[in-house]
Structure 1
Amino acid sequence: MMKTLVTKHPLPLLLLLQLLQPLHFCQSYQGISNQDIDEYEEMREEFFGTGPPRPFTKKKFERFYIVEPGRPLYDSEYCRDVIMERNVHFRLKCVTEHYFVLSNFTEMQRICSSVFVPCKNGVRKCKRSRNIISGVYCNFTGGTTMPDCNYDTFERQGFVLVTCRWQNDIQSLIPDSINDIVTPSSE
């Protein structure tokens, strides 16, 4: 009798299965939804691909930056847990910093229509939210590759700085990344 490994997040499992599978065998995704297979194939192509990464989409932005209310943002393990759950990394290397916000995509997309402001590095290519938004700043503290990445968690409330990118298929600017959460007193 063969036991089946069940997981809440099938994408890392699919990646592991792909790495362990000899190259000449055919792919078999029994019991996994088409949506998870498509997401896995996209992640696999970005990880192993030699070309430029695929452009950011609404779905990716939501997965990488937007969190739901419920868990306290001040939880010291928040960043480590959510970064692992959302697979935030660059080719399995730990990211040095990351932001999560309690917001929705529509609100984040509205920021893209505001005026340019300086980003954290001083380059004037960010857009700033008009409203104060709650979020979390994750600062890398140790490890080198997933899953050994460790982070300090800092709850923040402030104006969100985002970079935006034109998306051809919807003919609109969409948020690409969060550059900073600026507290009103530090402006």
Structure 2
Amino acid sequence: MCTLLTSKSLPLLLLLLQSLPLQVLMLRTYPDFSKEVEEKFQDYWDEIHNSGPTRAPTKDSFQKHVLLDADFKFSESELCTREMLSRNIHVNLYCRKEHFFLYIPYEELQKTCYNMYVACKNGVRKCHKTKKLIEGAHCALSEGSTMPGCEYETTYKKGYALITCRWQDDIGEIIPDYVNTILEIPGK
């Protein structure tokens, strides 16, 4: 009789467990996690399950999600798919429709925030344009809708980047916030 009750209540048990936070299950399964690992896991868990950004963008997050290393090679065709997955770039586990990676030192890009406003690609006049031509990659979603099944088409561009900027209180600086587009110059 106990077996019959258990087999019939298994679907109910699974439904109840589904609502139990994953971190509780993880910590019970792996009680040897350090406090630092627990905090990182909790931050990650909160980030992917909240409806909006958990924190304002920061200098560090912009560098991590947008800038390419000095030893980067532009000949890689799978750059976007690989980098979007490895850098964990998504919106609540949904694939981003598009993203830009730039090959420019951060300090040089930050100076762009002090340039005059120009119109963004949507016509709103709140972007800043780089003074020099820069190289970058445009990532356009080609397949998938949720992580890790996102596939991207990589298009290399050389032109002027249009970026938005914002103030970061804790460091007291205006920082790049978002890459709106790269304006390619015909013939360059």
Query: How high is the TM-score relative to the length of structure 1?
Result: 0.78
Give, as a single letter, the amino acid of the residue that structure 1 aligns with 2:183.
V
Question: In the TM superposition, what are the counterparts of 1:93-172 in structure 2 within 5 Å?
Answer: 93-172=94-173
CA distance in 2, matches of 1:51, 1:159: 30
Q: What do residues 10-34 of structure 1 show as CA deviations (whole Å, max 9, x unaligned)? A: xxxxxxxx8375277386435x9x5
**Deviation, structure 1 residue 38:** 5.6
1:82 aligns with: 83
Give, as a single letter, the amino acid of the residue that structure 2 aligns with 1:93.
Y
Structure 1 unaligned blocks of 5 or more? 1-17
Instruction: Answer yes or no: is the 8 Å Cα contact 2:50–2:92 preserved in 1.
Output: no
Secondary structure of 1:138's match? strand
Give, as a single letter, the amino acid of the residue that structure 2 aligns with 1:107.
E
CA separation of 1:37/1:73 partners in 2, compared to 1, >3 Å: closer, same or farther? Answer: farther
1:8 aligns with: none
1:185 aligns with 2:181: no
1:29 aligns with 2:30: no
Secondary structure of 1:160's match? strand
Give, as a single letter, the amino acid of the residue that structure 2 aligns with 1:88.
I
1:19 aligns with: 22
CA distance in 2, matches of 1:38, 1:24: 11
CA separation of 1:28/1:77 partners in 2, compared to 1, >3 Å: closer, same or farther? Answer: same
Instruction: Answer yes or no: is the 8 Å Cα contact 1:74–1:153 preserved in 2.
Output: no
1:7 aligns with: none
RMSD: 2.6
CA distance in 1, matches of 2:39, 2:134: 32
Query: How high is the TM-score relative to the length of structure 2?
Result: 0.78
- Higher Cα Rg: structure 1 or 2? 2
- Number of residues of Structure 1 aligned to a counterpart in Structure 2: 166
2:49 aligns with: 48
CA distance in 1, matches of 2:40, 2:64: 11
Structure 2 unaligned blocks of 5 or more? 1-20
